[in-house]
Chain A
Amino acid sequence: MNKVIRGKVHKFGRDIDTDVIIPARYLTTFDPLELGRHCFADLDESFATRVSEGDIIVAGENFGCGSSREHAPIAIKGAGISAVVAESFARIFLRNSINIGLTVVEAPGITNFVEDGDEIEIDLENGKIRNLTRDREMNFQPLPSFLKQIIDAGGLIEFAKERLKTR
């Protein structure tokens, strides 16, 4: 896992649902790049073309609510986003992101801390986010150690391989 992530912020509101992240009509594939091209198609058509590799999404409460489609974090990753920082996440989206290796950070207060277009740096190990544009810093609670095991293994598939060896 990349311990420090740096990138430009694309800011979203609250209750961003997975239908908006990737509409059902694109679910006939699970190719990351193809899904990435349609990421947020109904909310912001230009999103996929505006994202540069490594950019970061910042959002309000309940990011990723709705359908369990794993295509949602895959589309975000496929669009080139390196991390999603939100006030809070819907649980299936959080699971899926951890399982496929999309970095997710729950950081209450984040929406007042950064504006669209800001450059931020996330220190995952120490639970710190620095706003490089506005020169300020905030803390967040790093993930519990149980989930770190999965992330450190490289996602749930790698975790499964390790677990099969120990059983």
Chain B
Amino acid sequence: MGKTISEKIFEKHLIEGNPVAGEFVLARVDLVLMNDITAPPAIEAFYKIGVESVFDRSKIALVPDHFTPNKDIESAMQVKMMRDFAKEQGIEHFFELGRGGVEHALLPEKGLTLPGMLIVGADSHTCTYGAVNAFATGVGSTDAAYAMALGELWFKVPETIRVNLKGRINPWITGKDIILYLIGKIGVDGARYKALEFGGELIKDLSLDSRFTIANMAIEAGAKAGIFEPDSILEEWARSFEPEPNLVYPDSDATYSEIIEIDVTEIDLQVAFPHLPSNTRNVSEINEKIFIDQVFIGSCTNGRIEDLRIAASILKGKKVAPNVRLIIIPATQEIYRQALKEGLIDIFIEAGAAVGTPTCGPCLGGHHGILAKGERALSTSNRNFVGRMGHKESEVYLSGPSVAAASAITGYIASPSEVL
């Protein structure tokens, strides 16, 4: 019987059990990630387990990003706890403010997430690293503590839904539109407990940044992982970090619970309406003017350089609508710097945007742009649940960077063709 990418990765990391879909296994992990919200309970749990030291100090990543730069005393205490723990344990990958950014943009940039790895992170968007052909999944803090102590974790090997992408990508369409379209089609629990495996002839036309966006939102369809088949673009990227990347291909006779074919040619720019990411519509089908108070371009979904370039190409020489606040946050220091070099930051400020230092910030209603009662935002992030970005009576719409930038100019949700 043929195997899926996920089954092959579990087979390689197996300690105990049978690595086929539906079975429980104990498996070795290559990387354990925590952030400033999830690390403190994990550290406390780690001490309760009672081991002296972490399993491997080069395989743990601690990223303060959610409430960092620390928004209040409590969050400063949480980050201090991480920092102290990192020092005590000699953890190599603690990313201090000013040398890091949003975890899921940062770790791939640092070459810490590579093909064939089994990665767990105490953050639901850990699935982002599926873009680079790793099996990566979100877990809780106690799981992370266990993994830090023992270098292993329990898993249920997931069934896989294969998604074949084909066709031609229309102008302005990015990974965000493809994944929103898919979530709209299968729903927020359409892939619950399963892995999504992306392949098909279109992959080679997708930038890595777009793949990160797609894999990032696999969890928004309930998936355990969103994993891409490798290709030459990935191989070249991986070679910049290791000489012989461990690329994992599925067998041609692998067993899938479902196969979904998507012709990308038919996909229009997407917007998810409140309060679920599956509540999607084509921008061209929005007949009313949905006025907005705030636009956020950033997050682990769309705070990468490709997203900023797209936003800048639309905002260049234009002004943000008088009633709109545009917040742009590059996801990492490196992306910020690249954007500076390319003159993108200048374009943003000239247009009237507030550009912030890398942080999750507004994405989770943490700080740096929280919504008041009754306000409406358009965000390039991944979630639009009730109260996600602020007051429980605020609303969040989701889109890719081109619609976000265009809407910041018009003041209502609009397609780029309206402003260009």
Contacts and interface: CB of A to CB of B under 8 A. Distances in A.
Interface of A: 15, 17, 19-20, 23-25, 27-30, 42-43, 61-62, 65-71, 74, 88, 90-92, 95-96, 99-100, 144, 146-147, 150, 155-157, 159-161, 163-164, 167
B21 to A, nearest CB: 14
Interface string B379-394: 0000101111000100
Contact of A157 (B126, B142, B222): B142
Contacts of A91: 192-193, 222, 224
Given A19-B383, A66-B124, A164 B49 contact: yes
Given A19-B388, A69-B37, A163 B150 contact: yes
Given A70-B141, A144-B24, A25 B37 contact: no
Contacts of A92: 124, 138-140
B210 to A, nearest CB: 23
A41 to B, nearest CB: 8
Contacts of A147: 24
B38 interface: yes
Contact of A29 (B74, B146, B222): B74
A96 B143 contact: yes
Contact of A62 (B24, B38, B141, B222): B222
Interface in B389-406: 392
A1 to B, nearest CB: 16
B140 A99 contact: yes
Given A19-B388, A24-B364, A146-B154, A69 B38 contact: yes
A159 B49 CA distance: 9
B385 A17 contact: yes
B418 interface: no
Contacts of B146: 99, 156-157, 159-160
Interface of B: 24, 37-38, 40-41, 44-45, 48-51, 66-67, 72, 74-75, 78, 122-124, 126, 138-143, 145-146, 149-150, 154, 188-189, 192-193, 222, 224, 276, 364-366, 383, 385-388, 392
B142 A20 contact: no
Given A19-B385, A19-B388, A65 B222 contact: yes
A19 B387 contact: yes
A70 B140 contact: yes
A28 B142 contact: no
A142 to B, nearest CB: 15
A79 B87 CA distance: 35
23 contacts: A15-B188, A15-B189, A17-B385, A19-B387, A24-B365, A25-B366, A27-B37, A28-B74, A28-B78, A30-B40, A62-B192, A65-B188, A67-B123, A67-B364, A95-B143, A96-B140, A100-B142, A156-B45, A156-B146, A157-B48, A157-B49, A160-B49, A163-B150
A156 B42 CA distance: 12
Given A156-B45, A164-B149, 19 more contacts: A15-B276, A19-B387, A25-B365, A28-B67, A28-B78, A30-B41, A66-B124, A70-B140, A96-B141, A99-B142, A144-B24, A150-B154, A156-B143, A157-B49, A160-B146, A160-B149, A161-B49, A163-B150, A164-B51
A29 B73 CA distance: 11
Given A24-B366, A69-B37, A43 B142 contact: no
Nearest to B22: A144
Nearest to B73: A28
Nearest to A27: B37
Contact of A68 (B122, B145, B188): B122
B239 to A, nearest CB: 32
A30 B38 CA distance: 9
A49 B388 CA distance: 23
A28 B41 CA distance: 11
A24 B51 CA distance: 31
Contacts of A161: 49-50
Nearest to A28: B74
B41 A62 contact: no
A75 B50 CA distance: 25
B192 A88 contact: yes
A5 B110 CA distance: 48
Contacts of B387: 19-20, 23, 42
Contact of A88 (B38, B124, B143, B189): B189
